[in-house]
Amino acid sequence: MMNGNYSTIVIGAGSAGLTVAIGLAQRGKRVALIENNAVGGDCTNVGCIPSKTLIHEVAERNGHGDGAAILATVQRKRNHLRDEETEMVERMEHLDLIRGAARFVGPREVEVALHTGGTQRIGAPNIVIATGSRPRMIEIKGLPRERILTNESLFELERAPRHLAVIGSGPIGLEMAFAFRKLGSRVSVIAKDERVFNAGTPATSEALAASLAERGIDVYLRAKPTGYNHAFERLSLDVDGQPVTLDEVDYVLIAIGRTRNVDRLDLERAGVRYDPQQGIEVDGSYRTSVPGIYAIGDVTPASKWTHSAGAQGRTVVQRILLPWLPVSGSSTLYPNATFSDPEVANVGLLPDEIAKRYHPGLVKTLRVELRDTDKGYTDGLQRGFIEVSALRLSGRVLGATIVGPRASEMISFWTLAISQGISLYKLFRLVYPYPTLSGGNQKIADQFVRETLPNIGAEMRDVARYGLATIWWRLRGAEPAAVDDTAAHPLAAQTTYNG
Ligand SMILES: Cc1cc2nc3c(=O)[nH]c(=O)nc-3n(C[C@H](O)[C@H](O)[C@H](O)COP(=O)(O)OP(=O)(O)OC[C@H]3O[C@@H](n4cnc5c(N)ncnc54)[C@H](O)[C@@H]3O)c2cc1C
């Protein structure tokens, strides 16, 4: 093991921390990477990888197959990847993996409570905090510990629950509700909101609600758990003020959101500003309030996914290696995907965010039902759509939502359009293979051009009128507020990756 003279200390070996540690070590910088648990963090061990393996395995078997064998496959594939990642990190030149819990003792120094016993103090000019998040918990009276599941224990199950109650209807809750239903469990979803997947558009919630019902998943809205009777395996709910009981519930999955890991770091001793709920305050280059200390990934308000953690990590690598190089704005445009059935993906601004920024007369919303594409017809698609909001006249894309098969793959098309400012007029000229669901993008551009060009005079008049109204509103300080550029699309900060 190398001693001292580190260029950078990275706390946390998850998606964010690994990106920085590996990125710097590959360029010859000496890095100390401190990890208190398993290398790979949440994504590899208790998040994306086991959840997506499970979703894949149940889809492959199309509702058949042995639940215990599928869960064993999930663990085997997860463990294999974790072992590979660990070995790669352990062998990497210029990188020391230190196993233990880190806390600050000053702005340039941390102390590690080593797994092997004792403590070690190390210092460096750069420190990157990448300590992630953990599941937010609620207490349910009478529910014993062994019946409670979170994403940290879910993938250790050896058999599918008989009746899984999922508290929360965000991405994690819904992904797991569909997966465990296909694994053979009875599944009930309990959500406090008016609709499932409350962070998405109402049309998205509608499509997911229809699919949940079709799969035989019971959904209780405006509902909360009130207690559990262990002897009878009975979960009591308050549903819109009415008592309801669910029988034979052997496990309860809590998926109601995330708590950022800021509390055990002694951030005060370094002077790093943070909010216990929102996480560590950072600027556009992920610098904290203390020069030389960065924060990235789930521990900040600006990230909730692996890809955003990775993008932030790459920015910090650039900041440390080439501090004079400007940070690219388009790397803050984070698409997101939920691997429910159907999949949901979106990028850019959601309709309610657009309404706060633009006069409604300036925006066109275009929508194509996937069943109206020829590929949707050949595949017998019942539901799913592409919905795009764009500025009238200029055709600049503001946001896109896709619900349907492989929405997670299809969304990148719109990420490119938004980040590069490619207007719908340009996309109108693009040719797609036939028949494909992405051919639906062509229908979106067709719709825009069809509605805009023949009425160009009226369009110009309207845009001038609503543009003036927007300027007037802004001068008076009323909504719609500042019209932002693509670099500042704040979707990641407003859409939660949580239950
Ligand atoms: C069930 C589930 C499914 C998900 N699916 C997806 C998906 O499909 N796509 C997607 O993009 N995102 C997904 N996510 C989100 C994704 O997992 C996280 O956004 C990502 O892992 C965050 O990475 P991170 O590096 O910020 O934090 P983490 O991965 O949590 O890593 C933080 C690391 O820091 C360590 N640590 C904490 N405190 C200390 C300390 N004091 N000292 C030393 N080490 C410390 C922890 O042990 C941990 O290993 C999912 C999350 C969950 C829970």
Q: pLDDT per residue over 299-328, tens digit each?
A: 999 899 999 999 999 999 999 999 988 877
pLDDT computed for residue 463 by the predictor = 78
Q: How far is the CA of 310 from the centre of ligand 1 (A)?
A: 11
Does the Cβ of 313 fall within 6 Å of ligand 1? no
Ligand 1 center to 15 CA (angstroms): 7
Atom of ligand 1 nearest to the CA of 48: 5
One-letter amino acid at 315 equals: T
CA 404 – ligand 1 centroid, Å? 27
Tens-place pLDDT, residues 189-231: 999 999 999 999 999 999 999 999 999 999 999 999 999 999 9
Beta carbon of 48 within 6 Å of any ligand 1 atom: yes
Rounded to an integer, what distance in angstroms lies between the CA atom of residue 498 and that of residue 104? 29
In one-letter notation, the amino acid at residue 303 is S
Residues of the chain where predicted confidence (pLDDT) is lower than 70: 1-4, 329-331, 478-499
Ligand 1 mutation pick, 305, 334, 411, max ligand atoms within 8 A of CB: 305
- In the chain, the largest separation of any two C-alpha atoms, in whole Å, equals 76
- CA separation for the pair 206, 461 (Å, rounded): 36
Q: Can you tell me which atom of ligand 1 is nearest the CA of 112?
A: 42
Strand partners, 337: 345
Residue 389 CB less than 6 A away from ligand 1: no
Q: What is the rounded distance in angstroms from the CA atom of residue 162 to the CA atom of residue 381?
A: 30
CB atoms within 10 A of CB 482: 9
Please state, in angstroms and rounded to a whole number, the distance separating the CA atoms of residues 200 and 349.
11
Look at residue 369 in the predicted model and tell me its pLDDT: 97
